[in-house]
Amino acid sequence: MGLFQKLCNQTRTPEGFLGKLMAGGMNIGHAKLAEWGMSSLRGIDASAIVDLGCGGGRNASELLKRYPKAKLTALDYSKVSVEMTKKTNRQAIRAGRCSVVQGNVAALPFEADRFDLATAFETVYFWPGLEKCFAEVHRVLKPGGAFLICNESDGTDEVTLRYAKIIDGMAYYTVQQLQNAMKAAGFSEIKAEHHPEMPWITVLARK
């Protein structure tokens, strides 16, 4: 495996030195996508948020700014991502507004009906079975809670689809596939938005 492929594979579970580079790069490289994705949250109120697959922690920080009265829990499978998210959000952690945990989205370490909002930026590509994981998200959301997915690929873009061939365990999904999995997990009021110039998508659903 070449260096480029090794680096690309760090997008799944950042580890070691290359993982630190990747997690830091996520904070920079995904900023515009995340900013656009968060525009889909207009009209959504939240006091308890969970950011799933938190990466380098930038999105958690931006969500805390967007919801200044909310508390946020960030979760990632990668120890490197957890540590970087803690560093990025150290002030919010000290203020008692943010907590960061290592965990698996297929078995979320949270009680039922806990959160008003769950977000997943650039991460569902690696989730081990959409319906199972979406059912877990559904479980931890309060009735009426919202689940936002934001992806840079709509599942048909040829450029980004190339990465699925070199990154182990990666799968891109179309809007229809995401909506179908959300419905199967119990979600309703599912709405999708597509960026007018990029293959970026958001899918927002309610419990």
Tell me, what's the pLDDT at 168?
A: 67
118: its two tokens: 């769950």
CA distance 8 to 89: 25
- What domains lie within the chain, and their CATH numbers? 3-206 (3.40.50.150)
- Summarize the confidence of residues 105-110 as an average pLDDT: 98
CA distance 161 to 151: 12
Tell me, what's the pLDDT at 204?
A: 98
87: its two tokens: 């560093």
Tell me, what's the pLDDT at 27?
A: 53
Tell me, what's the pLDDT at 176?
A: 97
**Percentage of residues of the chain with pLDDT beyond 70:** 82
Helical packing angle, 58-66 and 31-38, nearest 10°: 30
CA distance 175 to 193: 9
Burial bucket for residue 37 (CB in 10 Å: 0-12, 13-18, 19+): buried
Tell me, what's the pLDDT at 5?
A: 44
Q: Which is more confidently placed, 22 or 116? A: 116
CA distance 97 to 135: 26
The pLDDT tens digits for 150-203 are 999 998 887 776 766 666 667 889 999 999 999 999 999 999 999 999 999 999
The pLDDT tens digits for 33-72 are 999 999 999 999 999 999 999 999 999 999 999 999 999 9
DSSP 17-30: HHHHHHHHHHHHHT
